[in-house]
């Protein structure tokens, strides 16, 4: 684990520096799918740097990356790589994006590393060892009055304007002071772990950027459950998740379930 953490920290900064150096100088922008997602040459360049190191140091591990896909290995250890979380932001010159690396063991996250290059903020979380931003311990905070709270909304690309999602978004927008959509999910998870926002509602958004954030919040004292209030564990192809400080969980579940009726 120590070797994995050292590798992830070193290589994620290298990948992030590539994005920072090429910010506002995108040379190759392509539509990635039919849902409006895009990919740039920076996604591929940053990904190549990360994958080369992981496969060299841990050749028997399974690796799944946002652009390259799965390496075909079979292992209890799985690396999840999102080389540029927030590519749409990056492409339009909005400096809100990260790189995310997660190490899973038997479908549970044990290491999460997220780097925000434009602010030089490095977020690191290890199972049982807490969550840190630039070596400072992070702690999720309770919100005394959720009506004055700020929550993050995350939805999968395929959700689009699904009527149930639209209804829930509108419901949440009316019940909190602010509902935030950053187009960079890992950063929202880190903000919750750091105590900068008060909760996250995730609607059917599974990908290489999810599990580093879940670990970050858990290790910062937050709680992560499904829409029924059951503890979220393992991996799901269609996750529906609520995350916040434990003191706010009952109210968060109540609000989300109201919006789903």
Instruction: Point out the annotated binding site for Mg(2+).
Output: 66, 82, 84-85, 209
Residue ranges at the known binding site: 66, 82, 84-85, 209
Q: Is 151 left (phi over 0), alpha (psi -120 to 50) or beta?
A: beta
Nearest-10 Cα torsion for 77, 82, 85, 91: 180
In this structure, is the dihedral angle defined by the CA atoms of residues 216, 127, 229 and 204, taken in order, positive or negative? positive
Both structure tokens of 43? 């996604």
Do β-strands 121-126 and 130-133 pair in parallel, antiparallel, or remain unpaired?
Answer: antiparallel
């Amino acid at each position: 684990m120590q070797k994995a953490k050292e590798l992830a920290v070193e290589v994620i900064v290298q990948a992030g520096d590539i994005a920072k150096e090429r910010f506002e100088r995108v040379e190759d922008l392509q539509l990635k799918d039919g849902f409006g997602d895009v990919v740039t040459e920076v996604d591929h360049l940053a990904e190549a740097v990360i994958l080369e190191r992981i496969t060299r140091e841990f050749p028997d591990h399974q690796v799944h990356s946002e652009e390259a896909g799965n390496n075909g290995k079979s292992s209890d250890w799985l690396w999840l790589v999102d080389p540029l979380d927030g590519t749409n932001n990056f492409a339009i010159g909005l400096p809100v994006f990260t790189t995310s690396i997660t190490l899973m063991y038997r479908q549970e996250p044990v290491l999460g590393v997220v780097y925000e290059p434009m602010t030089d903020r490095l977020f690191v979380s290890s199972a049982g060892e807490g969550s840190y931003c630039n070596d400072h311990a992070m702690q999720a905070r309770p919100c005394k009055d959720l009506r004055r709270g700020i929550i993050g909304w995350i939805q999968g690309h395929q959700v689009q304007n699904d009527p149930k999602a639209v209804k829930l978004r509108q419901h949440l927008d009316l019940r909190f002071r602010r509902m935030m959509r950053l187009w960079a999910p890992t950063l929202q998870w880190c903000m919750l772990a750091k105590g900068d926002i008060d909760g996250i509602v995730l609607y059917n958004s599974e990908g290489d950027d999810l599990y580093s954030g879940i670990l970050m919040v858990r290790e910062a004292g937050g709680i992560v459950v499904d829409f029924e209030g059951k503890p979220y564990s393992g991996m799901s192809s269609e996750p529906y998740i609520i995350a916040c400080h434990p003191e706010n969980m009952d109210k968060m579940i109540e609000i989300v379930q109201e919006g789903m009726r």
